[in-house]
């Protein structure tokens, strides 16, 4: 077996300091190492051109290395002061929003050129849709408890009761959130230190990730922008549960937030995996209601702790408005016809189209059974008829329903981050629809699917970018394909 050539620039596990010079899609900063052997490229996620960073090499090949960010040693000249506590989930909060948009647009279009082989992608560009709220836009946040904290002055981990987020680059170490992060509800986040004190004063232990033991695990909050109500979920293990008074904790939450508290739930999670809601655990309502109501484009949606719902509802309205605009561009292709809404989730897009079109039947398909239950309930609540929802794998569904072939003019696609499996995409292509409106939370897999669609005779007509998550690398795309 030939001996593997040693990398002449970096070793796996090595900690390096590097200046970031460029920005690539997905928030990857690009640095370069130059020595007598030539030039070598290093990718560091969540970094910006102009920053000097400390990072650890995780993977390396002959041409480049992928690193994990430890800390920003020197900021970029583009960065400005922020009044919010910095958290790993908002790496670009100090970058002016216009600059964030510039990086997102340029790197996403580049992706469609390189992976999707759409050479004239700039000519197809339609709109960059901003989030209406740049700050405090999220409607859900998960805070983790940890028995290991981080001392920022000593730059080391310490044994302490923490409630907040994981310290960047670690899986075992928590970092207290003491103030508003600028992403979620300011009132909740400014009170998180009080909730932490309350829990610490019980004498019960927070989760110790390396030992996989402890009582307190997560504190999850959902918020309705329509009603301003809050739904809380405390996640603990069952160990020591009799020592914790859940009703008293519910009273404490109402002391802090008054009639904003819609309800308080308790979840038992004894699994050692790092998930808030366990597959085997129980979830119990302790106080109030187990749901809140949110509004999107005039329709009401009931949201439980487990149901999927867009994290930035105000921006989601703009995203859906763009999807509906593309779908109804040829109104005659939608009115009095059947529209397939594949990977439909809780059926939001289909309901909005049905609400805006005439005598349109929507067939929604998603593999997540609980999402389909929510879709059916929401359709009833909004008095929208002509909707059929199926809990099924999209590929299997299309095999079992050949009657849709050559009968459908418009298909809406909104798959998960992994995009559409090539076999399933072939089945969608074989339906022979005139138009596809493809929504994606991961333009990299959408660009990959674009190449397959173009080879099958579809043309990319328009692309819009929607900024659902300011201060992060995430961007959503809406693409219109036509035969």
Catalytic residue numbers, as ranges: 441
Cα separation, 299 vs 4, whole angstroms: 60
Residue 305 DSSP label: S
270 is in an annotated binding site: no
Rounded to the nearest 10 degrees, how much is the dihedral formed by the CA atoms of 51, 56, 59, 63?
40
Provide the CA 11 distance to its chain's centre, in angstroms. Answer: 32
CA of 456: how far to CAs of 111, 121, 266, 367, 453, in Å?
20, 18, 50, 26, 5
Contact 171, 157 (CB under 8 A): no
Produce one character per residue of 149-177: b if its CB has 16 or more CB atoms within 10 Å, e if not. Answer: bbeeeeeebeeebbbbbbbbbbeebbbbb
**Which of these, 219, 216, 218, 196, lies nearest to 205 by C-alpha position?**
216
DSSP, collapsed to helix, strand or coil, labels residue 39 as strand
366 is in an annotated binding site: yes
Q: How many CA atoms lie within 13 A of 477 on its CB side?
A: 27
CA of 449: how far to CAs of 419, 429, 473, in Å?
7, 11, 21
φ, ψ for residue 191, nearest 5 deg: -95, -5
**Which of these, 449, 450, 446, lies nearest to 459 by C-alpha position?**
450
Cα separation, 250 vs 287, whole angstroms: 7
Neighbours of 471 (CB within 10 A): 25
Residue 258 DSSP label: G
DSSP, collapsed to helix, strand or coil, labels residue 356 as helix
56 is in an annotated binding site: no
Q: Strand pairing partners for 34? A: 39
Contact 192, 178 (CB under 8 A): yes
Contact 468, 315 (CB under 8 A): yes
CA of 156: how far to CAs of 94, 143, 149, 151, 420, in Å?
24, 21, 9, 6, 43
Segments in 293-368 forming alpha helices (H): 313-327, 348-356
Backbone conformation region of residue 117, classed left if phi is above 0, alpha if psi is from -120 to 50, else beta: left
126 is in an annotated binding site: no
Residue showing tokens 């400390």: 54
Cα separation, 410 vs 363, whole angstroms: 11
Binding residue positions for S-adenosyl-L-methionine? 310, 343, 366, 414
């Amino acid at each position: 077996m030939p001996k593997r050539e040693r990398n002449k620039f970096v070793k796996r596990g090595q900690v390096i300091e590097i200046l970031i010079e460029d920005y690539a899609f997905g928030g990857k900063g690009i640095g370069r190492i130059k020595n007598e052997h030539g030039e070598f490229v290093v990718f560091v996620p969540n970094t910006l051109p102009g920053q000097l960073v400390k990072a650890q090499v995780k993977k390396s090949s002959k041409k480049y290395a992928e690193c994990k960010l430890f800390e920003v040693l020197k900021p970029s000249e583009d960065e400005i002061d922020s009044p919010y506590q910095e958290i790993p989930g908002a790496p670009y909060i100090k970058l002016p929003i216009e600059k964030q948009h510039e990086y997102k647009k340029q790197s996403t279009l580049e992706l469609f050129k390189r992976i999707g082989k759409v050479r004239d992608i700039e000519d197809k560009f339609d709109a960059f849709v901003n989030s209406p709220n740049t700050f405090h836009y999220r409607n859900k946040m998960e805070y983790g408890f940890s028995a290991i904290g981080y001392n920022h002055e000593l730059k080391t981990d310490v044994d302490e009761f923490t409630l907040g987020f994981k310290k960047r680059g670690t899986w075992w170490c928590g970092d207290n959130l003491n103030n508003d992060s600028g992403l979620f509800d300011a009132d909740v986040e400014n009170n998180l230190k009080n909730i932490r004190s309350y829990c610490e004063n019980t004498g019960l232990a927070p989760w110790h990730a390396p030992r996989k033991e402890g009582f307190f695990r997560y504190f999850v909050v959902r918020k309705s922008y329509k009603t301003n109500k809050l739904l809380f979920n405390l996640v603990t293990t069952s160990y020591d549960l009799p020592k914790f008074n859940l009703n008293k904790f519910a009273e404490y939450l109402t002391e802090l937030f008054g009639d904003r508290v819609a309800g308080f739930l308790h979840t038992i999670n004894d699994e050692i995996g790092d998930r808030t809601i366990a597959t085997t655990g129980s979830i119990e309502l302790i106080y109030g209601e187990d749901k809140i109501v949110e509004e999107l484009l005039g329709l009401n949606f009931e949201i439980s702790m487990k149901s999927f719902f867009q994290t930035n509802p105000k921006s989601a309205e703009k995203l859906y408005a763009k999807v509906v605009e593309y779908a109804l561009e040829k109104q005659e292709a939608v009115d009095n016809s059947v529209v397939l809404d594949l990977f439909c989730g809780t059926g939001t897009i289909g309901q909005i189209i049905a609400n805006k079109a005439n005598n349109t039947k929507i067939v929604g398909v998603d593999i997540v059974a609980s999402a389909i239950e929510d879709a059916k309930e929401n359709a009833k609540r909004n008095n929208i008829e002509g909707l059929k929802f199926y809990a099924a794998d999209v590929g299997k569904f299309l095999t079992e329903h050949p009657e849709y072939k050559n009968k459908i003019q418009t298909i809406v696609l909104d798959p998960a981050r992994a995009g559409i499996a090539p076999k399933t995409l072939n089945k969608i292509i074989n339906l022979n629809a005139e138009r596809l409106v493809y929504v994606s939370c991961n333009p990299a897999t959408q660009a990959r699917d674009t190449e397959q669609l173009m080879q099958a005779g579809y043309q990319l007509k328009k692309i819009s970018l929607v900024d659902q998550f300011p201060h992060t690398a995430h961007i959503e795309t809406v693409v219109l394909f036509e035969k």
